Chain A
Amino acid sequence: MTLLAVDHLSVTLRGRAILRDVSFRVAEGDCIGLIGPNGAGKTTLMRAALGLLPATGTSSLAALPPDQRARAAAWLPQARQIAWPVTVERLVMLGRTPHLRGLAGPAPTDHAQLEAALTAMGLHDLRHRTAMRLSGGEQAMVLIARALAQDTPLLMADEPIAGLDPANQIATMRVFARLAEEGRAVIASIHDLGLAVRHCTRLILLGEGRIVADGPPAAVLTPVHLARIFGVTAHYEQTPLGPVFQPLEVIA
């Protein structure tokens, strides 16, 4: 089933075209790495697809009323904002906001989702700690857990693994891959192409606001694309341990 259909999406901010005529589908089981150089339009693409930015073209999510959209897709912004010294538990529970009804507090399902999200991100030991006093990496894990607690068919995350240690990066990518295996879908913008290649089923390569390539990692990270869009050479090899990708040199 299609979880997101984006057609001819374009965004122009202050006279500058940030996103130009982007179309793609996201299906159940997709674990998509959204890749591209800085300023390629990755964040804009996700925000416009969610309807958080004025855009031309259509997005099936942007067309939904806000409360329905919030039950269809979770959004993890890149800016890790935590305004008040609330506990990890309470912060993760905020992910249940779209599911709460009327004046009622969290129901047993909400508590079950909270526990599942804490387990997925390995946060049980930190649950009573004040989130804003944790390390940057730990805060990132807490915010991912918040998005997981939203329990949506689609998760969109903006650079979710930036600033995490290698173990947490891998663990987070595994969580995303597992969501996809369960029949949900994930779109995450990622700069670490090595991790993207290993854990994503599909890559979307953005360059100057356009989709340059969309498909399995091996088909997207070709030497031509790497040279043209990222301006680098790279080593890419299928090994018994899975695909290994390493950028090598900047092309002068």
Chain B
Amino acid sequence: MIRLALLLCLMVLALFIASLAVGPTGIGAGEGLAALVAGGDGPVPLIMREIRLPRALLGVMIGASLGLAGAALQGYLRNPLAEPGLIGVSGAAALGAVLALQTGLAATFALGLPLAALAGAGAGVILILLLAGPRGGSITLILAGIALSALAAALTSLVLNLSPNPYAASEIVFWMMGSLADRSMTHVWLALPFMAAGWVALATLGRGLDALTLGEDAAEAMGVRLTRLRLILVLGTAAVVGAATAVAGAIGFVGLVVPHLLRPLVGAQPSRLLWASAMGGAAMVLAADLAVRLVLPERDLKLGVLTAIVGAPLFLHLIYKTRAEMP
């Protein structure tokens, strides 16, 4: 287990450094890192500090958030097909962002879009808690999530439909594909408090999620407070996923594939899968964000497109490989 933790740590670290080293300006790894450490006002330290560092940091933060939330939701729902978007908060955050783009709020100040997305996520989480009720079971949560996702998707379509010109519509569509390009440290500082709070909340759920392996009745009889666990799960997921969507748009498949990929390596124990998926998610998003810069550097390939293109076949392969083992 320690070997796996070490391996994942090294992977994240290596990809983080690689992420700092890659960019259109052709600043080398050594030169860039030296400039980042030494500081200064030249173009190299500026590019490193203002462009590459936030991009790499957001890669780690968003990947960890999606991996962790995916593992927690799969553990709670006892279903390997659960993913962070399931509770509808990412859809609600996207709607907030789309409204900001449509109304021009996004253009008035730099944080207009992410703040609107966070407001969307906040409204989404209130709605899901109202819909799913304080004592509802896991099925109610899934149904409420589906309802919220459908509503957010419908309203997003409506905004696109009523969009005044094709430029606004294409801006919205491109934003929804998800990207880490051209983000600043302001985005990092905006997302960090929500994500940190969400990480801490989700990390406390390990023991309850382990007990849920035996079903809700057995877990409750073993002292797990299910209502509280579910509330922390929803709030924690909403915080990390809402913040991730707010600063980077929709990045799919990370929260679905990463826990699935790592489950056999942690003996399928939900509590261990939490930290493993957080690190694995960080590695996956960093790697994907490196790939979009290396594969088609001149075409601005979107991160969310790549994670889906790589994630979907990988997921199919995993299902094919493990279908004999699932009940």
Task: List the interface of chain A (C-beta within 8 A of B).
Answer: 47, 50, 52, 66-67, 69-71, 73-77, 79, 81-87, 90-91, 94-95, 97-98, 100, 132-133, 143, 146, 150
B220 pairs with A132, CB closer than 8 A: no
A70 pairs with B223, CB closer than 8 A: yes
Considering only residues 246-298 of chain B, those with a C-beta below 8 Å from chain A are 263-264, 267-270
Considering only residues 39-77 of chain B, those with a C-beta below 8 Å from chain A are none
Q: How far is the CB of B262 from chain A (nearest CB, A)?
A: 12
Residues of chain B within 8 A of A50, CB atoms compared = 221
Residues of chain A within 8 A of B300, CB atoms compared = none
Given contacts A97-B207, A143-B214, contact A86 B222 (CB under 8 A): no
User: With an 8 A cutoff between CB atoms, is B12 at the interface?
Assistant: no
Chain B CB within 10 A, most for which of A81, A83, A94: A83
The 7 closest A-B pairs by CB, nearest first: A70-B223, A81-B215, A75-B221, A83-B78, A84-B268, A67-B223, A98-B223
A77 pairs with B218, CB closer than 8 A: yes
Residues of chain A within 8 A of B264, CB atoms compared = 85
User: With an 8 A cutoff between CB atoms, is B224 at the interface?
Assistant: yes
Given contacts A79-B215, A94-B213, contact A74 B221 (CB under 8 A): yes
A84 pairs with B269, CB closer than 8 A: yes
A-B contact pairs, 27 of them (CB 8 A): A52-B220, A52-B221, A66-B223, A66-B224, A67-B223, A75-B217, A75-B218, A77-B215, A77-B221, A79-B217, A81-B218, A82-B213, A83-B78, A83-B212, A83-B214, A84-B268, A84-B270, A85-B264, A85-B325, A86-B267, A90-B267, A94-B211, A97-B207, A97-B223, A98-B223, A133-B325, A146-B214
Closest chain A residue to B79, Cβ basis: A83
Given contacts A84-B269, A86-B268, A133-B325, contact A97 B211 (CB under 8 A): yes
User: With an 8 A cutoff between CB atoms, is B225 at the interface?
Assistant: yes
| Bound CA span A172–B174, Å | 62
Q: How far is the CB of B271 from chain A (nearest CB, A)?
A: 10
A66 pairs with B211, CB closer than 8 A: no
Closest chain B residue to A84, Cβ basis: B268
A87 pairs with B223, CB closer than 8 A: no
A84 pairs with B214, CB closer than 8 A: no
Known: A70-B221, A85-B268, A94-B210. 11 other contacts (CB 8 A): A75-B218, A75-B221, A75-B222, A77-B217, A81-B215, A84-B213, A84-B263, A84-B268, A91-B214, A98-B222, A98-B223
Q: How far is the CB of B27 from chain A (nearest CB, A)?
A: 42
B217 pairs with A100, CB closer than 8 A: no
Residues of chain A within 8 A of B325, CB atoms compared = 85, 133
| Bound CA span A76–B325, Å | 25
Residues of chain B within 8 A of A69, CB atoms compared = 221, 223
B220 pairs with A66, CB closer than 8 A: yes
User: With an 8 A cutoff between CB atoms, is B24 at the interface?
Assistant: no
Q: How far is the CB of B285 from chain A (nearest CB, A)?
A: 25
Q: How far is the CB of A11 from chain B (nearest CB, A)?
A: 15
| Bound CA span A121–B143, Å | 40
| Bound CA span A47–B221, Å | 9
Residues of chain B within 8 A of A86, CB atoms compared = 213, 267-269
Residues of chain A within 8 A of B218, CB atoms compared = 75-77, 81
Considering only residues 277-327 of chain B, those with a C-beta below 8 Å from chain A are 325, 327
| Bound CA span A79–B217, Å | 9
Residues of chain A within 8 A of B225, CB atoms compared = 66
Residues of chain B within 8 A of A74, CB atoms compared = 221
| Bound CA span A84–B225, Å | 21
| Bound CA span A122–B264, Å | 27
Contact with A along B72-90 (1 / 0, CB 8 A): 0000001000000000000
Given B222, B267, B268, which contacts A94 in the complex, CB threshold below 8 Å?
A: B222
| Bound CA span A133–B217, Å | 22
Residues of chain B within 8 A of A94, CB atoms compared = 210-211, 213-214, 222
| Bound CA span A94–B213, Å | 9
| Bound CA span A82–B215, Å | 7
B220 pairs with A82, CB closer than 8 A: no
| Bound CA span A133–B325, Å | 8
Closest chain A residue to B225, Cβ basis: A66
Contact with A along B130-147 (1 / 0, CB 8 A): 000000000000000000
Residues of chain B within 8 A of A73, CB atoms compared = 221
Closest chain B residue to A150, Cβ basis: B222
Q: How far is the CB of B229 from chain A (nearest CB, A)?
A: 11
Q: How far is the CB of B112 from chain A (nearest CB, A)?
A: 41
B224 pairs with A97, CB closer than 8 A: yes
| Bound CA span A3–B270, Å | 33
B263 pairs with A82, CB closer than 8 A: no
| Bound CA span A74–B220, Å | 11
| Bound CA span A133–B264, Å | 14
Given contacts A97-B207, A100-B207, contact A82 B214 (CB under 8 A): yes
